[in-house]
């Protein structure tokens, strides 16, 4: 588990380096606010399309080889982004990175392979903490490397640094990470007839609870991704901050998420249960988005982001742990890949409307829309609590 934690952390650290600079990178090569969020949406779209296939490959051939090849693809994407001098090259780099990011379901499937049911949410929390810590440190480093002024920011150095860090992650993967899926379960998945994506979706969503969890994840990630996709531009326009300060805010939010995942998920899950904890996080997310819609100072922004980071940090491992209950060992990769794809589709929808809403309806409108989406999420979370636990 420690090896997977370190590999995930270093990999996300490289990804996080790009976060505070990407919107300004796209603006430099000719894109506006709407294009910025559409490029973010395109990344999530290809991740959504790739995740089920990548998950199925990991069920057949093992988690380790799939993680190796997808990590190598991320390195190529970072290098391509570093030397991109046109919008279409930025788009190609982000698409390649998005395809490789379809391995998130494989990472969580690995955790499911090596953890027991009682400790699964806690183990998911550790990996979620690796994401949060990488997301905490990465944007801060990326912002510092880029500089304080948007007009003179250096975008090549952060991208190449991200590539170098991902090379380290690949080396750790090759050296330290064993295979988690037994040969018996890989054989079972290999002889099982591959189903088209539509049939996979119908089979997975035939379970009512899994379907409700998927809708909650879809709507929550619509709201969360709309926040992330427009946050750098919103912070620059409303608070007049540059890449360095934006990176530091991302660092703060990542720290909040990591603290929640490392220290709170285990005790809260034992106290409340996963389903009740899920509902509480949906409510906290809604409150945080409502506050962000009206924020006009740095302090108000930090208060809102504290709530949002807490809710998101706990939601991801808890919802994934709940979803993993409905899969056999030789199907975990594809089912969790489908579950991550649902979240990925939410990350397509959120950025797709965020840029247009930001320009046409006002700077706080993407956050207000997200807050309203939490109302049906809360109702579905109540329904999940009332469902019987899987046998």
Structure confidence by residue, pLDDT tens digits, 219-266 = 999 999 899 888 988 998 889 888 788 888 888 887 888 788 777 877
This prediction has a pTM of: 0.70
Mean pLDDT: which of 130-144, 295-309, 341-355 is highest?
A: 295-309
- Positive or negative CA dihedral for 122, 339, 184, 182? negative
- pLDDT category at 35 given cuts 50, 70, 90 is confident
Backbone angles phi, psi at 256, to 5 degrees: -60, -45
pLDDT mean across residues, the chain? 82
* Band of residue 287 on the pLDDT scale cut at 50, 70, 90: very high
DSSP secondary structure letters along 173-228: HHHH----S-HHHHHHHHHSPPPPHHHHHHHHHTSHHHHHHHHHHHHHHHHHHHHH
SS3 category, 97: helix
% of the chain at pLDDT higher than 90: 21
Tell me how far apart the alpha carbons of residues 230 and 246 are, in angstroms, rounded to a whole number: 12
Q: Does domain 2-386 have CATH number 1.20.1250.20?
A: yes
Cα torsion for 380, 339, 170, 26, to the nearest 10°? Answer: -70
Mean pLDDT of 125-148: 78
* Residue closest to 338 by CA, chosen among 199, 201, 188, 194: 201
Contact 59, 333 (CB under 8 A): yes
Query: Which span out of 107-116, 174-183, 354-363 was modeled with the highest average pLDDT?
Result: 354-363
| Most confident listed range (23-32, 133-142, 282-291, 336-345) | 282-291
Q: What is the mean pLDDT of residues 55-80?
A: 89
The DSSP call for residue 154 is: -
* Torsion on CA atoms 61, 62, 67, 70, rounded to nearest 10: 10
Instruction: Supply 66's token pair.
Output: 């799939």
Does 17 score more than 80 pLDDT? no
Distance CA 20, CA 236 (A): 11
CB-based contact 10:168 (threshold 8 Å): yes
285: pLDDT strictly greater than 80: yes
Domain ranges for the chain: 2-386
The answer to whether residue 186 scores a pLDDT higher than 60 is no
Q: Residue 191's pLDDT is what?
A: 46
Longest dimension (CA), the chain: 59
CA-based nearest residue to 274, from 380, 381, 346? 381
């Amino acid at each position: 588990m420690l090896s997977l934690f370190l590999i995930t952390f270093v990999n996300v650290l490289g990804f996080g380096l790009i976060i505070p600079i990407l919107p300004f990178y796209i603006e430099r090569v000719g894109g506006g606010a709407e294009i910025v969020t559409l490029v973010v949406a395109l990344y999530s779209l290809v991740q959504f399309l790739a995740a089920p296939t990548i998950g199925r490959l990991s069920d057949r051939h093992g988690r380790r080889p799939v993680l190796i090849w997808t990590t190598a693809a991320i390195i190529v994407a970072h290098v391509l982004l570093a030397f991109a001098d046109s919008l279409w090259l930025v788009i190609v780099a982000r698409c390649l990175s998005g395809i490789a990011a379809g391995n998130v379901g494989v990472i969580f499937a690995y955790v499911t392979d090596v953890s027991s049911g009682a400790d699964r949410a806690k183990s998911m929390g550790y990996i979620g903490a690796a994401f949060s810590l990488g997301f905490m440190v990465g944007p801060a480093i990326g912002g510092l490397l880029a500089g304080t002024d948007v007009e003179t920011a250096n975008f090549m150095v952060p991208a190449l640094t991200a590539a170098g860090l991902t090379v380290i992650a690949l080396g750790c993967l090759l050296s330290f990470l064993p295979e988690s899926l037994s040969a018996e379960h890989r054989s079972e998945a290999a002889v099982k007839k591959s189903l088209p994506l539509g049939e996979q979706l119908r089979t997975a969503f035939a379970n009512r609870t899994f379907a409700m969890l998927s809708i909650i994840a879809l709507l929550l990630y619509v709201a969360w991704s709309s926040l992330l996709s427009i946050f750098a531009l919103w912070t620059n326009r409303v608070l007049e901050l540059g890449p360095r300060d934006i990176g530091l805010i991302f660092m703060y939010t990542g720290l909040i998420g990591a603290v929640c995942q490392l220290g709170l998920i285990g005790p809260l899950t034992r106290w409340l249960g996963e389903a009740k904890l899920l509902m509480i996080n949906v409510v906290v997310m809604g409150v945080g988005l409502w506050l962000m819609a009206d924020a006009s100072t740095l302090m108000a922004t930090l208060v809102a982001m504290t709530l949002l980071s807490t809710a998101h940090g706990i939601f991801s491992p808890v919802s994934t742990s709940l979803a993993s209950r409905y899969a056999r060992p030789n199907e975990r990769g594809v089912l969790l890949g489908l579950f991550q794809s649902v979240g990925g589709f939410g990350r397509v929808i959120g950025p797709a409307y965020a840029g247009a809403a930001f320009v046409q309806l006002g700077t706080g409108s993407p956050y207000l829309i997200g807050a309203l989406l939490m109302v049906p999420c809360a109702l579905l979370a109540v329904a999940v609590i009332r469902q019987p636990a899987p046998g």
